[in-house]
C-alpha cells in the first residue's frame, strides 16, 4: 500500500470497517442497493441488525424481476428503521395486499418521506386502475409523492381524508380524478411547492395554492385551465393538446415564466385581458407581463 499503510483487511488485525461506529456504518449501508444492503447481515454478528434498523431506501428497480412479488413485502415487513424512500416503479397492489395486508398503514407508521407508486397498466386501461389507499393520503410525513395509474375515490371532496401537511412535491401520472377532488387535493397540501400532472382526467382544472411555486401540466382532456389564486407561483409550463383550451391567469403576481401555448387553439386571458400574440410562443413574464405583447384586446371576463 502507498505510504506504508496497512491493507484494509489487516489493519490492527481486523477490518477497518469494523472500527467504525454503528451510526457511520448505517450511513454506508443506506447507500447500497437494497439487496446488497440486506446481505451485510452475514458479514459479522455486529452487522446483523444494522441494516434492519438503518433508514430504508427501497427501489424495486434494484430487485430482479421474478423476485419482486416476494421481496418487496418482505423488506417492508422486516425492516425496523424509518422508511426514508420507497420507490415502486412496478407497484403490484394485489400482490402487496396478499403478502402484506395493511401495507399502506405501515408506510404511515414508518414515517415515509418519499413515496413513488406506479402501476404498470396500458394507457387504454386507465379507467380500471386501482383506488389510491386512503392511508397514503393521510401520511403526514410525506415530502414527495408520485402516483401513476391510480383512481382517486370520489368522496374526497372538500379535503376530507387528506392530511399531507409536509408535502412539497406532488406528481400525478395517468390518474383518474374528478375536477373537485383534484382541486381539494391541491388545496389540502398546504406546503406544496412543485406540482406535476400528466394525462389526468379532469376537463376543468382550477389551481388554488398559497405555497405553489412551480407547476408542470400536461393535460389531454382539459377544456378550461385557470390559475385562480397562487400568489407564489413563479413557473407554469403547459403541455396542452391541439384542441381549443381556455387558459386563464387570475391572481399570480409572482409569475415569471408561462410556456408552451399555441394561440391558434389556446385562448390566453390574464385577469380581464385577452392576449393575442404570434401563432406559437413561449412566454416569459417579467415585472410588466403585458409590455411584451404585440396586441392586447380588452374584454370582460364574462364574455369568455
**DSSP symbols for 258-271:** EEEEETTTEEEEET
Those residues whose C-beta lies under 8 Å from the C-beta of residue 90, and which sit 6 or more positions away, are 60, 68, 118, 120
What pLDDT score does 81 carry?
Answer: 87
Report the range out of 8-17, 118-127, 157-166, 182-191 with the highest average pLDDT: 182-191
pLDDT at 286 over 50: no
Annotation: CATH topology of 55-198: 3.80.10
pLDDT at 44 over 80: no
Q: What is the CA radius of gyration of the chain?
A: 24
201 DSSP assignment: -
pLDDT at 291 over 50: no
Beta bridge partners of 296: 275
CB of 289 within 8 A of CB of 268? no
pLDDT at 151 over 80: yes
Q: pLDDT band for 7, please (50, 70, 90 cuts).
A: very low
> In this structure, what is the dihedral angle of CA atoms 139, 144, 150, 151, given to the nearest 10 degrees?
60
Q: Per DSSP, which regions of 135-234 are E strands?
A: 144-148, 169-173, 194-198, 204-208, 214-218, 224-229
Average pLDDT value for residue range 97-113: 95
Q: pLDDT band for 106, please (50, 70, 90 cuts).
A: very high
Q: How far apart are the first and last CA of the chain?
A: 77
Which triple of cell numbers denotes residue 95?
400482490
CB of 173 within 8 A of CB of 148? yes
pLDDT at 84 over 70: yes
CB of 135 within 8 A of CB of 111? no
Q: Indicate where the chain has its CATH 3.80.10 domain(s).
A: 55-198
pLDDT at 284 over 70: no
Average pLDDT value for residue range 234-259: 86
Rounded to the nearest 5°, which phi and psi values hold at 260? 65, 65
CA distances from 272 to 56, 81, 244, 245, 268 (A): 51, 54, 19, 17, 10
Q: Per DSSP, which regions of 65-223 are E strands?
A: 83-91, 114-119, 144-148, 169-173, 194-198, 204-208, 214-218
Q: pLDDT band for 47, please (50, 70, 90 cuts).
A: low
pTM here is 0.79
Q: pLDDT band for 149, please (50, 70, 90 cuts).
A: very high
Amino acid at each position: 500500500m502507498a505510504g506504508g499503510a496497512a491493507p484494509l483487511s489487516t489493519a490492527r488485525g481486523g477490518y477497518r470497517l469494523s472500527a467504525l461506529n454503528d451510526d457511520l456504518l448505517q450511513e454506508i449501508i443506506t447507500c447500497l442497493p437494497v439487496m446488497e444492503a440486506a446481505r451485510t447481515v452475514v458479514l459479522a454478528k455486529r452487522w446483523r441488525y444494522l441494516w434492519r434498523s438503518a433508514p430504508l431506501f427501497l427501489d424495486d428497480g434494484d430487485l430482479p424481476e421474478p423476485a419482486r412479488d416476494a421481496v418487496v413485502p418482505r423488506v417492508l415487513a422486516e425492516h425496523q428503521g424509518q422508511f426514508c424512500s420507497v420507490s415502486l416503479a412496478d407497484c403490484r397492489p394485489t400482490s402487496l395486499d396478499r403478502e402484506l395486508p395493511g401495507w399502506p398503514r405501515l408506510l404511515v407508521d414508518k414515517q415515509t418521506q418519499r413515496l413513488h407508486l406506479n402501476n404498470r397498466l396500458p394507457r387504454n386501461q386507465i379507467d380500471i386502475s386501482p383506488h389510491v389507499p386512503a392511508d397514503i393520503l393521510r401520511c403526514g410525513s410525506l415530502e414527495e409523492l408520485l402516483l401513476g395509474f391510480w383512481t382517486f375515490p370520489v368522496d374526497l371532496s372538500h379535503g376530507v381524508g387528506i392530511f399531507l401537511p409536509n408535502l412539497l412535491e406532488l406528481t400525478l401520472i395517468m390518474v383518474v380524478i374528478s375536477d373537485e377532488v383534484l382541486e381539494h387535493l391541491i388545496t389540502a397540501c398546504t406546503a406544496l411547492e412543485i406540482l406535476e400532472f400528466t394525462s389526468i382526467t379532469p376537463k376543468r382544472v382550477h389551481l388554488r395554492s398559497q405555497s405553489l411555486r412551480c407547476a408542470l401540466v400536461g393535460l389531454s382532456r382539459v377544456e378550461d385551465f385557470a390559475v385562480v389564486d397562487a400568489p407564489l407561483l413563479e413557473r407554469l409550463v403547459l403541455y396542452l393538446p391541439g384542441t381549443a383550451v381556455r387558459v386563464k391567469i387570475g391572481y399570480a403576481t409572482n409569475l415569471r415564466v408561462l410556456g408552451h401555448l399555441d394561440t391558434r387553439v389556446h385562448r390566453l386571458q390574464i385577469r380581464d385581458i385577452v392576449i393575442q400574440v404570434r401563432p406559437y410562443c413561449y412566454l416569459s413574464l417579467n415585472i410588466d407581463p403585458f409590455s411584451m405583447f404585440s396586441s392586447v384586446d380588452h374584454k370582460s371576463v364574462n364574455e369568455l
